[in-house]
Structure 1
Amino acid sequence: MSLYDEGHTIAGWTGFGIATVGNGVVGLGVCTVSVPALVGGLVIVGLGVLVAWALHLSGWGKPPGVRPRDQWGMRVRDARARDGHDGCVGCRLAGRGRRGATAAVAATRAGEAEPVATEAGS
């Protein structure tokens, strides 16, 4: 069995539900050739993304990657959300979290000519 538990969160399912309703409205707009329905459906989809992002940042979403099995429950709130998750685009967009090893910025220590990576991945 996989150690990954992606998307089984309150944030994920709420965003999915709102986006599904938005897609239904977009489909209705396509079938009835209604521009207001198309625009309204796209607005609902965008709202679903924003709601899922807000829930993720408030701790109801979980970081990507491997988590212990006791944190797999949908109703388990993530206490690390306030500091941001490593490698999480949503947290990075909100100004939280640290950049991964691929985006580490080289810094120079005082008195040394060689740059030293601020955060090494391995």
Structure 2
Amino acid sequence: MAHLHDEGHTVAGWTGVAVATVGTTVVGVGVCAGSGLLVAGGLVIAGVSVLVTWGLHLAGWGKPPGVRPRAEWGMRVRDTGARRGHPGCVGCRLAGRVPAGRGALSVPGPTVAGDGTGMEVHGTSVVGGGSRADVGPGAS
């Protein structure tokens, strides 16, 4: 049966969940057995699941943030854009993969310009100044 929406199933996602499940199972057995060594080992395995998922994502077996095109919904479809990095993807940023034309940290510039008078200028319109407002330093 065909899916009506992208469920996000990927090799990276399923593998990461499987490794994390093993880790949390070992933690649970360690808690029941009263073994600090098993608890610590399970936590290490759970931590490794994050690294495995991240590595598979960077290798193209994950998915970019957001909705994928319908042709890429299948689990076995490899993401060809992973080498360049995905916009808005924390994993890609941590790996130093930033899409072309974007810096590692992109902060949008201010959208409102102020001149210190309390009236902000949006493009060419004045907000809060009335119909005969003077705008800018030295305006009279």
TM-score band by shorter chain is 0.7 to 0.9
In structure 1, give the amino acid aligned to 2:15.
T
RMSD, aligned α-carbons: 2.2
Counting matched residue pairs gives 104
Larger Rg: 2
Q: What's 2:35 paired with?
A: 34
Residue by residue over 1:65-119, the C-alpha shift from the partner in whole angstroms, topping out at 9 and shown as x without a partner, is 011110000000000000101111111110112469x93366xxxxxxxxxxxxx
- Structure 1 CA distance, aligned partners of 2:65 and 2:20? 21
> What does residue 104 of structure 1 align with?
107
User: In percent, how many aligned pairs have the same letter?
Assistant: 62
- Is the 8 Å Cα contact of residues 18 and 48 (structure 1) preserved in structure 2? yes
Quote the residue 2:57 is aligned against: 56
- Bigger relative contact order, structure 1 or 2 (CA pairs below 8 A, ≥6 apart): 1
What residue ranges of structure 1 are gaps of 5+ in the alignment?
107-122
Partner of 1:5: 7
User: Match of 1:81, as an amino acid?
Assistant: A
Give the alignment's TM-score, normalised by structure 1.
Answer: 0.77
TM-score by length of 2: 0.68
Inter-partner Cα distance in structure 2 for 1:96 and 1:3: 28
CA distance in 2, matches of 1:103, 1:33: 48
Structure 1 runs (4+) greater than 3 angstroms displaced: 1-5
Match of residue 73 from structure 2:
72
Q: Deviations over 1:25-71 (max 9, x none)?
A: 00011111100000000011111111110000000001110111100
Which structure has greater helix proportion?
1
Q: Is contact 1:84–1:96 with CA below 8 Å preserved after alignment?
A: yes
Q: Which amino acid aligns with 2:7?
A: D
Residues 58 and 82 in structure 2, CA contact (< 8 A), matched pair in contact too:
yes
Give the whole-Å Cα distance in 1 for the aligned partners of 2:42 and 2:74.
31
